[in-house]
Chains A and B, each alone.
Chain A
Amino acid sequence: MELPALGWQSIVIFVVFALSLLIATYCTYAERVIAAFLQDRVGPDRAGPYGLAQPLADAVKMFTKEEFFPGGANKALFVFGPCLAMITALMSSAVIPFGNIMNFGNNLFFLQGIEVNIGMLWVFGVVSLGVYGVMIGGWASNNKFSLLGAIRAASQNISYELAMGMALIAVLMISGTLSLREITLQQSAAGEWHVWNIVKQPLGFIIFLVCAFAETNRTPFDLPECETELVGGYHTEYSSMKLGLYLFSEYVNIFVVSAVMSVLYFGGFNFPFQYELRDWFVSNQGWELASAQNLITLLGTVGLFLKIFAFIFFFMWIRWTLPRFRYDQLMRLGWTILIPLAVFNIILTGGLILFGVI
């Protein structure tokens, strides 16, 4: 019996999962190093060379800490909360195209978990599920502060998801498809000048970026976790690896959101002069077209990861620069500024398409 799901694509999915987890692991390290550097400190440099074994030490600490269940907590939900946060964070990475086609002896492979023509919807559906992880965690803790944090998280995520979706609609109006792979390929054309969507959608990108910060609960939108107001936020009562999963899922989310932004606005796995480079390998070096394409695909994957890392760095850079919003400021920004701006962006894009500018 041959299961279609156990083919090449499943290997890609496993690799993508492992990669997301690895990158998220080292995000915790990068966060500490970047935070330290931005504040004129040195950061972790004791565990291993340059402190590279620091995530391992953190993991050992997390796993060996005491497992604590607060009295009156709903145990099943209490465990389910962090699991859900982690699952949803990982699931959305499955549809992101990490590379173009690989060609092995007339077999074509997509460097992508699942190629579906509703990729964007999938990402948004799963990301909006992510708020349940926080909500359930806050509710199951049986702690008023956790519940307040969870409620703030939920209202924040819902209000920013609206603006995010509307910013995205403008992209979809240009591309005319929901498939992430299609959107990527549209941002490059053989023999033409490549125009990434950021050029066509600067306003939409800024809206999307701000909403991405809010969706991943990063500063300045980290209201769900607020030591000064809420003891610790939705994960006040969590200890050991359950807390670790919550913190970890935040980093997986950052990775996924960075990947989505790179794909939607920064050309994904495309890089300038890729077709010229491929043709140069074919005509001047005598390579076969397939192997030249494979090389370009790998280079494109590296390029995409560089874009992703740049975004991850930007996330951390912002975190150690800006202070947290007050709750009413957060809501005002979301509802009275970002959503009208997103609507304006849609109308503007529609007009530009109508008059044939883009």
Chain B
Amino acid sequence: MAITDDVLVIGGGLAGATAALAAAERGVQVRLLTYKQSTLRHASGLIDVLGYAPSGKGPLADPFDTLETLPEGHPYERVGSDAVREALLFFDAIVGDAYAGEHTDANALVPTSSGAIKPTARYPAGVAPGLASDPRETLLVGFETLPEFDAPLAAAHLEETGAPFEARGVTLSFPGIRRDDAKVTRYAHLLDRDETVDVGRGETSARAALAAIVRDQLEGESRVGFPPILGDDNHATVRRDLEERLGVDVFEVPSGPPSLPGMRLEDRLYDALDDTGVRVTTGVPVVDYEGADNGRSGASSTKRIEHVLVDRKGRDVPYRADEYVLATGGLVGKGVRSERERVFEPIFDCHVEASPDRYDWFDGDAFGDHPFARFGVTVDRELRPLDTEGDLEFANLRAAGAVLSGYDFAAEKSGSGVSLATGFVAGDRAGSEVRG
């Protein structure tokens, strides 16, 4: 017996979770299968829609102005800008007041840990007081044991970029952390649980100790930025507590992986999956599929996926559904893989366009226009993968997120937006297909 559901989503990142939630909205039984934890744990937690045009123009004040002009084959062109708006509304409903930015189409400008400014469409509520468009003076606080955020350097860089406020950075010693390489989860855990720490002058709680050393540094600034370690499960409480103790606004400065804001977003999405009745299976990969011709000839002869095979530690177990969504990620998430002579999609072997000569895959300039950044499956406007001839690979497969070709998310700052929009459309169509 295959394990059977109506819609099967393969991949558990932003695109996969959104697809599963959108399909479940249609009232069908959905399962989400994910091999490894998603790359959301590497993600800043910001929801970018489009920060720069594919031509490099930007930062863009309003992503929607440019969405209409994207080249054919870009995922946004495939789904259309209305779908992008709908997907953002869907996202806003899922995350509630944990995120901000829904009041406007315009991009917000968020300072990041290097002191650069990033254009983004939605941002965690804990990032909101730090926006670069806000003219208030700012104190940035870094910690000796967290070298990825050098607060004085970030502050200097922020002023250099022309931010409309004065920024100052200080580096302190985090109360209760002794070790140079304590994990970000250790900092978050200390604050989440407000554990008792020894600060040399006796024991106190972690939040009180942190507030005390930061208060000494304040020189009239009305907001303080920290690296994103202000709690995990109890992030909102930790931030509020610090604000009350300091009497100023407290915000987080998004930084590189591993990233608590990405993990918090992942938790929100998985809570929503649980609430919606989506079945989640983790830890095992989909390795293959079995398909069947539908017996018809001509244009309607497209193959269907009967079931996929999941490798449960050496034994393949069949999982069956009517409709499938492929949301396995790109080169980093391993939804697209490469060998020395080819680039391929490993589960269904959907066509991936790439030169047979691997020296054509990249540009000589490190920050140049790399073809590999756009590798992925090509899809029709229903997000169904197409073969070399431009025909459907399968009648009941859709693709979403970084597995899609035609966009460079790193250069465009469009990763989250594409995952949301295509995940929403793929899941919604798959769900309504089952409902008939």
Q: Do A and B bind each other?
A: no
Binding site for B on A (CB under 8 A): none
